[in-house]
Structure 1
Amino acid sequence: MLFDRKGLSDDLLLQLYTELLRPRMIEEKMLVLLRQGRISKWFSGIGQEAIAVGATMALDADEYVMPLHRNLGVFTVRKMPFDKLFKQWQGRKDGFSKGRERSFHFGANEYHICGMISHLGPQLAIADGVALAHKLRKEEKVSVAFSGDGGTSEGDFHEALNVAAVWGLPVIFIIENNGYGLSTPVNEQFVCEQLADRAIGYGMRGITIDGNNILEVYSEIEKARQYCIKEQKPILIECMTFRMRGHEEASGVKYVPKELFEEWGKKDPVANYEEFLRTEGLLTDEKIAAVREGIQKEIEEGLARGFEAPPITPDTTEELADVYAPVTEAPVAPHSQGVEKKFIQALSEGLKQSMERYPGLVLMGQDIAEYGGAFKVTEGFVSAFGKERVRNTPLCESAIVGTALGLSIKGQKSMMEMQFSDFVTVGFNQIVNNLAKIHYRWGQNADVVIRMPTGGGVGAGPFHSQSTEAWFTHVPGLKVVYPSTPADAKGLINAAIQDPNPVMFFEHKGMYRGISGLVPEEYYTTPIGKARQVATGSDISIITYGMGVHWATAYAAAHPDMSFDILDLRTLLPLDHDAIRASVLRTGKVLLLHEDTLFGGLGGELAAWIAENCFEALDAPIVRCASLDTPVPFAIELEQNFMASSRLDAAVQKLAGY
């Protein structure tokens, strides 16, 4: 292995050695503890430490790194206290995630690290978001994201690279090509000669380097950093390496030919660099022993403190409280009755006023810029706020959700428009595993609103008409909002943007131009988590949301002989249980109405909660009225038959008969 110091100082060369040796020695100790049964699991990076160490050393301390589970060197170079790291691995309260996450599935803003999730690829798009924040603020900074060779086959890899290239983002994407994705060799993963060759397809630079040569890694990442900052472009760097242990210790290495261990053993990054420093006259046996002794002391002292930490005593109140980031901004009440506006006008007005209120707010989505969005909600926004803040996106739903999370990590708010809520499936993983869980996992909020044009009744067929809200009410950490009036559309979009948590904001397409009402012209917020009492009655409670509110009010108007108590939930997660209980107590008969299909719809959860908590107030079985358990059909006649509204009268009469 040839080392070229390229003018690096003696002090830096020795610092690189210490930082390279530290993760190796920690890992060797962890393997001993594993064999002793004192720790439960370990993902080893032995053999490929030079990549994480060299890359992190080449960055500024305040530049974010998105590592994987074989990048211990990122954490040690950033000077994370070893005792706290060990508590993290042991699942102790004083670790970085209060015992809620394993190994390296955590982050820490203090150290500018955003930890991985097990799905690997989503990390890359977060780096896009961090880099976008740098670009918007004119900061001369980069972000760095790691991927393994296996992860390059994931859609998130391709989406993130494409977005970074199209938007000119200063991101360094690092592939650690160690020859295996768990046990699958690279010849079963891809057929291109080098993974760096993929860069040209995105119009970006790509290079392949020796990932076991600490000086080559350091110098190439340093050059890449300057390139990304100067040119405002991303770069893809493939680091050739090899892991000398299994994917994790339990998996073993039987699937790896023995000759590969012999070949790569000769390329050991620590031993080779140590020998180079000896030839340079910078290391002697005595100096090596001194460095090792210092690191060993750090490890033993950290282990002692770590093992002293007691197992966690669960606190249910704290667990529930940490699902959401606290909302610190006060709600803003309207102070005028307002003027008549269509639903879409009110929604657009709310977005505009939030853009004015929060100068760092960024809007992203397909065709939302000059075109104004598929439904023209953001028409005219580019001329008002510019293309940096109103951004057309490639068809990369997953990458854009991840980019939004990256912006949040840098303290900025963002809104993403799913062109249709049906398309959210392409970004589902980022939403339910990254956005929703990140505050609970390590205290990082996801200040992201995802707008979801939804619903049927417009003859759009199976892929543009689904009601998808129930998919997300099952996910702790998300907030799910569904306004039914223009006033609430404006107030709730403002509240959603104000809220530091991820909000899924559903907008029924049939309401955009079909529903009008009085809307205050000033900025105001409608509280998330509070239902709206549409009508107070004594015979039957209709608990509903979205288009169901209008079906219910129309039905009540057509049947003046019956007294209906109509409750508009407005927020589906978290629910307003107090308002639900109060409605049940007023009537004793409950009809749950929603456009979504019956099985697995929100009505089932509402029925269960009412049965458990309001049983003694019921005078009849709870009745659900929902759409057919079929995909949404295209033909108008079939769609009308599909809709819950076609069965509303039968449901009311069934309930009234008790």
Structure 2
Amino acid sequence: MNFDRKDYTDQQLTGFYERLLWPRMIEEKMLVLLRQGKISKWFSGIGQEAIAVGASMALDSDEWIMPLHRNLGVFTTRDMPLHKLFKQWQGNQDGYSKGRERSFHFGSREHHVCGMISHLGPQLALADGVALAHKLSNEKKVALAFSGEGGTSEGDFHEALNVAAVWDLPVIFLIENNGYGLSTPTSEQYRCVSLVDKAKGYGMEGVTVDGNNILAVYDTLKGVREYCLKNQKPYFIEAITFRMRGHEEASGTKYVPTHLFELWKQKDPIDNYEKYLLQQGVLQSAQVEQIKADLKEKLEAELSIGFDAAPLTISTPNELQDVYAPLPLNNSVQVINHSRSFSNDVPEGNELRMLDAIKQGLQQSLQKHDKLVIMGQDIAEYGGAFKITEGFVQEFGKQRIRNTPICESAIVGAALGLSLKGYKSVMEMQFADFVTVGFNQIINNLAKIYYRWGQNADVVVRMPTGGGVGAGPFHSQSNEAWFVHTPGLKVVYPSTPLDAKGLLIAAINDPNPVLFFEHKALYRSVSGPVPDSYYEIEIGKARHVREGDELSIITYGSGVLWAEDYAAAHPEIAIDILDLRTLLPLDYDAIAAAVKRTGRVIVLHEDTLTGGIGGEIVAWIAENCFTYLDAPVMRCASLDTPIPFNIELEKNFMAQGRLEETVNKIMRY
């Protein structure tokens, strides 16, 4: 192994050694404690320390790093205290995730380290978002994302690199090629000669580096960082190394040929660098032993603090409270309490279609928040599939109104990356159906990040949804129930222009991730008064649409229009209508009040019957309002089939066609 000291002083070279040795000594101790049952799981980075340490040292301390579970050297080089790291590994409440996360699946804003999820590839897109924030703010900073060679097989890898290249983002993608993805060798992972060859396909530069040579890694990262800043472009680095232990300790290493361990033991990054320092006279043997003794003393002192942690205190209220980031305390925006439509609290305003109300809400939010970015396919000059963002490029510029490649997962991830840097973002899912290819980022990254390590996700995903326009199975399905099941998300679904504007503004102001459903058939068919002012409708509050004492219809979206039309056609029944507006969190007080008003309840929604939100509402009413019921709570939903294309088949599919039958059935009780 050839070390090039360049113009580094003896003191700097010694500093490299101490940084390199520290995670190795920690890990050797952790492996002992693992066998003793003091920690529950460990992903070993022995033999790979030079990559994590060298890369972290090459960056500024306030540049975000997205590490993996084998990058202890990132955490130690960022000077995260061992005693707190140890509490984290024990699952202690005083760790970085309050006992809610394992090993290295956590982050720290203070240290600019982003917590990973086990899916590996998605974190690359977060680096895109951070780098985009740097670009928008004219900061001379980069973002660094780690991946293993196994992760390069994921679609998220392709999407993140493509977005970084297309948007000219200062991102460094660092691939630790250690030969195996769990037990799968590289020969079964890819067919290119080297992973760095993939960089050419994205139009970016790349380089291969000896990942066991601390000076080579550091020097390469320094040079690459300067390139990214100067050229405002991404860069790809493949660091060649080896995994000396199993994927995690329980998996073992029997699948690895023995001779490879013998070969790579000779390439140990610490042994070789130590020999080099001794040969060069930078250190003497006595100094090496003293460094090790000092680090061992520090290690034991830190562990004694870690072992002295207070016992875990379980608080259900605290657990529930930490699902969502708190709302801003000093929010001076006007809040319209539009909760009873049949009373005199309906605000005055210009008559707008729902489409125009959403457009106005976005426009005013962009004017209000300088750090708000809108992203989506065809949303810039074209104005979006439904023309909601038409004209925005001329008013706000292409930096903030960003066309995206067709890569939903990467754009949701980039939106979360923007949030790390204090930006807000609205991502338009061209059709709600397309969310499936961004599902992981929403469910496992956006929804859980605040609960896991206190980082909020200031992201709104707009979801044009629903049928009635003959668009078929891939452009019409109602999928809101998928997200209602996921703690950490908020799910909003307005049925009027007034609510659409106010709820959208509230969603953008909310520091939590919001799935904002917009029914396509209502865009141009529904109009109503909308104030010109910048206002909010409170998320989590239902709207009492119509007062009655014989039958309550609890619904949302297109179901509100169906219920109103049915009530108008049947004045002989005193129908009470409740528009939920927000599906997560639900307004249980309003639901209970609706039950008490009539004693008969239908839950109506366009979504299919099985697994729809109606089942959850019916169950809650049965558990909490049973004594007020005069009949079983009934659901009226669409058929349990994909939504068909033919208009007549679609009408047969829709719940609207079964509403009268359901009303007649419940009224017979």
TM-score interval, normalised by the smaller of the two chains: over 0.9
Q: Which amino acid aligns with 1:339?
A: N
Task: Name which of 304, 311, 332 aligns with 2:334.
Answer: 332
Q: Which amino acid aligns with 1:488?
A: D
How far residue 299 of structure 1 moved from its aligned partner, in angstroms, is: 1.1
Distance 1:374 1:298 in 2: 60
Q: Which amino acid aligns with 2:613?
A: L
Q: Per the alignment, in what secondary structure is the counterpart of residue 97 of structure 1?
A: coil
Other-structure match for 2:339: none
Contact 1:82 1:298 in 2 (8 A): no
Q: Which amino acid aligns with 1:242?
A: F
Tell me whether 1:377 sits opposite 2:388 in the alignment.
yes
Q: Per the alignment, in what secondary structure is the counterpart of residue 364 of structure 1?
A: strand
Other-structure match for 1:435: 446
Q: Per the alignment, in what secondary structure is the counterpart of residue 110 of structure 1?
A: coil
List structure 1 runs of 4+ shifted beyond 3 angstroms: none
Q: Per the alignment, in what secondary structure is the counterpart of residue 140 of structure 2?
A: coil
Distance 2:100 2:122 in 1: 20
How far residue 332 of structure 1 moved from its aligned partner, in angstroms, is: 1.7
Contact 2:130 2:143 in 1 (8 A): yes
| Structure 2: runs of 5 or more not aligned | 337-345
Other-structure match for 1:618: 629
Task: Name which of 396, 403, 414 aligns with 2:414.
Answer: 403
Which 10-residue stretch deviates more, 284-293 or 106-115? 284-293
Distance 1:5 1:240 in 2: 20
Contact 1:529 1:574 in 2 (8 A): yes
Q: Could you list the per-position Cα deviations for residues 179-211 of structure 1 after superposition, in whole angstroms to 9, with x for gaps in the alignment?
A: 000010000111100001000000001111100
Q: Which amino acid aligns with 2:468?
A: G
Tell me whether 1:359 sits opposite 2:361 in the alignment.
no
Q: Could you list the per-position Cα deviations for residues 230-256 of structure 1 after superposition, in whole angstroms to 9, with x for gaps in the alignment?
A: 000000100000011111111111110
Task: Name which of 529, 545, 552 aligns with 2:540.
Answer: 529
Please tell me the root mean square deviation across aligned C-alpha atoms, in Å: 0.8
Contact 2:63 2:112 in 1 (8 A): yes
Q: Could you list the per-position Cα deviations for residues 375-410 of structure 1 after superposition, in whole angstroms to 9, with x for gaps in the alignment?
A: 001000000000000000000100000000000010
Q: Could you list the per-position Cα deviations for residues 236-290 of structure 1 after superposition, in whole angstroms to 9, with x for gaps in the alignment?
A: 1000000111111111111100110011010000000011111221111111111
Distance 1:251 1:546 in 2: 50
Other-structure match for 2:153: 153
Distance 1:32 1:368 in 2: 55
Tell me whether 1:546 sits opposite 2:548 in the alignment.
no
How far residue 333 of structure 1 moved from its aligned partner, in angstroms, is: 2.7
Tell me whether 1:391 sits opposite 2:393 in the alignment.
no
How far residue 336 of structure 1 moved from its aligned partner, in angstroms, is: 5.3
**Pairwise mapping of residues 95-174 of structure 1 onto structure 2 (< 5 A)?**
95-174=95-174
Distance 1:282 1:2 in 2: 16
Other-structure match for 2:251: 251
Distance 1:416 1:502 in 2: 11
Q: Which amino acid aligns with 2:552?
A: S
Which 10-residue stretch deviates more, 8-17 or 499-508? 8-17
Distance 1:616 1:380 in 2: 55
Other-structure match for 2:607: 596
How far residue 312 of structure 1 moved from its aligned partner, in angstroms, is: 1.2
How far residue 9 of structure 1 moved from its aligned partner, in angstroms, is: 2.2
Q: Which amino acid aligns with 2:12?
A: L
Distance 1:340 1:371 in 2: 25
Q: Which amino acid aligns with 1:462?
A: P
How far residue 311 of structure 1 moved from its aligned partner, in angstroms, is: 3.4
How far residue 175 of structure 1 moved from its aligned partner, in angstroms, is: 0.3
Task: Name which of 347, 358, 366 aligns with 2:358.
Answer: 347
With normalisation by structure 1, the TM-score equals: 0.99
Distance 1:316 1:645 in 2: 41
Distance 1:243 1:24 in 2: 14
How far residue 504 of structure 1 moved from its aligned partner, in angstroms, is: 0.1
Q: Which amino acid aligns with 1:169?
A: L
Which 10-residue stretch deviates more, 464-473 or 309-318? 309-318
Q: Per the alignment, in what secondary structure is the counterpart of residue 535 of structure 2?
A: coil
Other-structure match for 1:450: 461
How far residue 428 of structure 1 moved from its aligned partner, in angstroms, is: 0.2
How far residue 562 of structure 1 moved from its aligned partner, in angstroms, is: 0.7
Distance 2:605 2:63 in 1: 47
Q: Which amino acid aligns with 1:191?
A: R
**Pairwise mapping of residues 416-431 of structure 1 onto structure 2 (< 5 A)?**
416-431=427-442
Distance 2:129 2:67 in 1: 15
Distance 1:640 1:193 in 2: 55
Q: Per the alignment, in what secondary structure is the counterpart of residue 237 of structure 1?
A: strand
Other-structure match for 1:291: 291
Distance 1:358 1:294 in 2: 51
Other-structure match for 1:556: 567
Q: Percent identity among equivalent residues?
A: 69
How far residue 37 of structure 1 moved from its aligned partner, in angstroms, is: 2.5
Other-structure match for 1:634: 645
Tell me whether 1:316 sits opposite 2:311 in the alignment.
no
How far residue 297 of structure 1 moved from its aligned partner, in angstroms, is: 1.4
**Pairwise mapping of residues 459-538 of structure 1 onto structure 2 (< 5 A)?**
459-538=470-549
**Pairwise mapping of residues 636-651 of structure 1 onto structure 2 (< 5 A)?**
636-651=647-662
Q: Could you list the per-position Cα deviations for residues 78-102 of structure 1 after superposition, in whole angstroms to 9, with x for gaps in the alignment?
A: 0001000000000001100000000
Distance 2:39 2:531 in 1: 60
Q: Could you list the per-position Cα deviations for residues 144-194 of structure 1 after superposition, in whole angstroms to 9, with x for gaps in the alignment?
A: 000001000011111000000000000000000000000100001111000
Q: Per the alignment, in what secondary structure is the counterpart of residue 335 of structure 2?
A: coil
Other-structure match for 1:204: 204
Q: Per the alignment, in what secondary structure is the counterpart of residue 566 of structure 1?
A: strand
Q: Which amino acid aligns with 2:625?
A: C
How far residue 295 of structure 1 moved from its aligned partner, in angstroms, is: 1.1
Other-structure match for 1:89: 89
Q: Which amino acid aligns with 1:360?
A: K
Other-structure match for 1:306: 306
Tell me whether 1:30 sits opposite 2:9 in the alignment.
no
Distance 2:304 2:629 in 1: 59
Q: Which amino acid aligns with 1:632?
A: I
Contact 1:68 1:120 in 2 (8 A): yes
Distance 1:593 1:71 in 2: 50
| Structure 1: runs of 5 or more not aligned | none
Distance 2:311 2:248 in 1: 24
Q: Could you list the per-position Cα deviations for residues 442-472 of structure 1 after superposition, in whole angstroms to 9, with x for gaps in the alignment?
A: 0000000000000001000000000010000
Distance 1:305 1:8 in 2: 35
Q: Per the alignment, in what secondary structure is the counterpart of residue 334 of structure 2?
A: coil
Q: Which amino acid aligns with 2:240?
A: M
Distance 1:610 1:333 in 2: 29
